[in-house]
Amino acid sequence: MVAQITTVPSCTAQRLRQVFATVDPTCCPRRINLHLHTVYSDGRMQPEEVMEQAIALGVEHISITDHHTVDGYLLAQEYLASRPQPGHRPTLWAGVEINASLLFTEVHLLGYGFNPYHEAMRPYLQSKTTAGVDYQALSVTQAIHQAGGLVVLAHPARYRRRPTELITAAVPLGIDGVETYYGYENHDPWRPSLHQSEQIHALGEKFGLFHSCGTDSHGFKITRRL
């Protein structure tokens, strides 16, 4: 990642919270899709292809959340900036997916709306999993917050510990939300898994967390996971 100095407007987190407040079981993937991968981690599409599909579908809010890198996000940002002004342009939010330890379990934390050039994010944008103190969920959460972003626990029902345990443990660390609507069965067309979504929604409401959604696309379509 090319080093440069930039800042995230103070209103970014508030604007993003407003987006999360509109998330429901029907909004993904055609209105909001906040979990996508490109060839810059373990996806199969170029960032430009992701944005072309998002534009064609009329997606309003999107985030490329490659593992431990924002290179794909930055290229997608350049692609949008190069397009003629007329026509639909989705809002592209800075995003990343970071491996972390929570209750001695490896989980994935999604960061959104952060300053990708903030010093606190440097350990997590090196295209590899961190170690030691940096690998702890608390450290990841604090770094994203220091960079002006929000933190979401990705797909809480995909780990060896139960969602109830993980979310309960993550709340005191300061996470902001949970990925409530997720297609654990990889349906095509995409749809959130009912049982898991209901359980995680209830936990999010209990702890005052916002809800997120995304297809976690790794293939050639942003409308499904694989």
CATH number of domain containing 134: 3.20.20.140
Q: Give 184's pLDDT tier (boundaries 50, 70, 90).
A: very high
Task: Please check whether residue 62 lies inside any domain of the structure.
Answer: yes
Task: Please check whether residue 48 lies inside any domain of the structure.
Answer: yes
Instruction: Give tens-digit pLDDT for 76-125.
Output: 999 999 987 667 789 999 999 999 999 999 999 999 999 999 999 999 99
Task: Please check whether residue 223 lies inside any domain of the structure.
Answer: no
Residue 165, phi-psi category: left (phi > 0), alpha (psi -120 to 50), beta (remainder):
alpha
Task: Please check whether residue 15 lies inside any domain of the structure.
Answer: no
pLDDT (0 to 100) of residue 11: 73
Task: Please check whether residue 17 lies inside any domain of the structure.
Answer: no
**Bridge partner list, 211:** 178
Domain that holds residue 205: 23-213
Task: Please check whether residue 220 lies inside any domain of the structure.
Answer: no
Task: Please check whether residue 178 lies inside any domain of the structure.
Answer: yes
Total number of domains constituting the chain: 1
pLDDT (0 to 100) of residue 85: 66
Please check the confidence at residue 4 and state whether its pLDDT lies above 80: no
* 3-class secondary structure, 42: coil
Task: Please check whether residue 6 lies inside any domain of the structure.
Answer: no
- pTM exceeding the 0.85 threshold for the entire prediction: yes
Question: CB under 8 Å to 36, separation ≥6 — which residues?
Answer: 43, 50, 62, 63, 64, 65, 214, 215, 216, 217, 222
Average pLDDT over residues 187-207: 96
